[in-house]
Amino acid sequence: MTRSIEALRREVERVDREIVRLVAERVALAREIGAAKQAQDRAPLDAGREAAVVRNGAALGREAGLDPEDARDLFWLLIGICRRAQVENA
């Protein structure tokens, strides 16, 4: 027997809550990284590191059965959110 649409939607909502919690955790870590960069007088932007994170994200997406380009887009969005968090706390 298949699950009802309502049950599936509840599962989607549970996953959405977890996604938001994990993004908030990533932003908190980015703020700590921003503070460490500031203490070391380093620039908030690290283009090489950002590119590596996106490449890794695409690979993780591919391994999970996602379109790598969609995963890249997601990671660029996350990087933008986290970069803003670093700069706002500087």
SS3 67: coil
If one counts every other C-beta atom within 10 angstroms of the C-beta of residue 33, the result is 17
CATH of the domain at 50: 1.20.59.10
Residue 51: the pLDDT is: 97
Q: Give the residue numbers spanning the domain of 80.
A: 5-88
Domain count, the chain: 1
pLDDT 10s digits, 40-57: 999 888 999 999 999 999
pLDDT 10s digits, 46-90: 999 999 999 999 999 999 999 999 999 999 999 999 999 998 876
Spell out the long-range contacts of 78-84 with Cβ–Cβ below 8 A and sequence spacing 24 or more.
78/23, 78/26, 79/50, 79/53, 79/54, 81/23, 81/27, 81/30, 82/26, 82/27, 82/29, 82/30, 83/30, 83/44, 83/45, 83/50
